[in-house]
Structure 1
Amino acid sequence: MKAKADFIFFREHKTPNSVRAAVAIYWIALSVFVVRFGLALRTLPFSAHRAPMITVFGLLFTVLIFEAFAIAQLSYGKLWARNVVLFSTAFAIVTTAYSLFANGLHAQQNDAIGLISVAAETVAGLFLLTSKSTAWFKSKIK
């Protein structure tokens, strides 16, 4: 007997390659962010007040879950998900640019992995704005 597992991220084969690439890039960028955030947590002093830290981590966790849900909905052609992901990409670009100008390249949040991740998200956002992608998302509106 041979077992076969199908991992279906796109229900139909008509999904443009630019959307497929953008979804893959966003999943990778989100995974990199979660790993980097987890590694950064190890260096935090936990002698500080716990209630504000739990609140901040809870809010961040909620945002990350919503971002993951929006990325998953891109696969189904949801226009609202594209808008949410594009907004979060624009927010990441603006905050990274501000951090670069304010702190320079030597700042901890401006390391090579972070900059590459934001650059990849920028490319993914541009993929979502191509004419084929836009037409595909608009064709999914019912």
Structure 2
Amino acid sequence: MRAETRFVFFPGNNAPSLVRAAAAVYWVVFLVFSVRIVVGVGVPPFSTPPEVEAALTVFGLLSAITIFYAFTIMRLSAGKFWARNVALFLTAFIIMTNVYHLFSDGLSSEKNNIVGLLIIVAETVAGLFLLTSESTTWFKSMAR
């Protein structure tokens, strides 16, 4: 018995509008996150072997994170309840770490720029969209 996996990037018309809006917000945040990684990492120095290993390790970890994040959003769009819970957990984790950095580093820190704060607000709103009773009912109905 083989399970078939479809690539679903956005929820269908049977999904509540708040779930479709949350998926769209998560995709926008994913794109901004990806662009910020590419711009922030830049070209690593390749002068010594330890630096090459470190650069490859960071690249591998960031690639794994972005692939997992995209997979979670795709499964969220397909109505998977576990993906909703993972997205809510990641949203809570991002909010907590950014609030910590906001209080420890201040607003003028490189980590706490306007784009970062907008991402926090957008993910918070998307998470709240997923917690509505209509969204929860839809996810539970898709599990059957």
Structure 2 counterpart of 1:127, from 122, 126, 129: 129
Contact between 2:45 and 2:52, CA under 8 Å: does it hold in 1? no
Structure 1 residue ranges, 4+ long, deviating more than 6 angstroms after superposition:
none
Residue 53 of structure 1: how far off its partner (Å): 2.1
Indicate the residue corresponding to 1:98 in structure 2.
100
Residues 100/45 of structure 1: CA separation in 2 closer, same or farther (3 Å cut):
farther
Indicate the residue corresponding to 2:26 in structure 1.
26
Letter in 2 for 1:85: A
Residues 8/59 of structure 1: CA separation in 2 closer, same or farther (3 Å cut):
closer
Q: Does 1:9 align with 2:10?
A: yes
Secondary structure of 2:19 counterpart? helix
Indicate the residue corresponding to 1:3 in structure 2.
none
Question: What CA distance in whole angstroms lies between the structure 1 residues aligned with 2:104 and 2:43?
Answer: 24
Residues 77/93 of structure 1: CA separation in 2 closer, same or farther (3 Å cut):
same
Residues 38/68 of structure 1: CA separation in 2 closer, same or farther (3 Å cut):
same
Question: What CA distance in whole angstroms lies between the structure 2 residues aligned with 1:94 and 1:46?
Answer: 35
Q: Normalising by the residue count of structure 1, what TM-score does the alignment of the two structures yield?
A: 0.88
Question: What CA distance in whole angstroms lies between the structure 2 residues aligned with 1:60 and 1:42?
Answer: 13
Question: What CA distance in whole angstroms lies between the structure 2 residues aligned with 1:103 and 1:80?
Answer: 34
Contact between 2:11 and 2:19, CA under 8 Å: does it hold in 1? no
Letter in 1 for 2:114: A
Contact between 2:44 and 2:55, CA under 8 Å: does it hold in 1? no
Residues 115/46 of structure 1: CA separation in 2 closer, same or farther (3 Å cut):
farther
Indicate the residue corresponding to 1:73 in structure 2.
75
Residues 50/29 of structure 1: CA separation in 2 closer, same or farther (3 Å cut):
same
Indicate the residue corresponding to 2:54 in structure 1.
52
Question: What CA distance in whole angstroms lies between the structure 1 residues aligned with 2:125 and 2:34?
Answer: 20
Letter in 1 for 2:26: Y
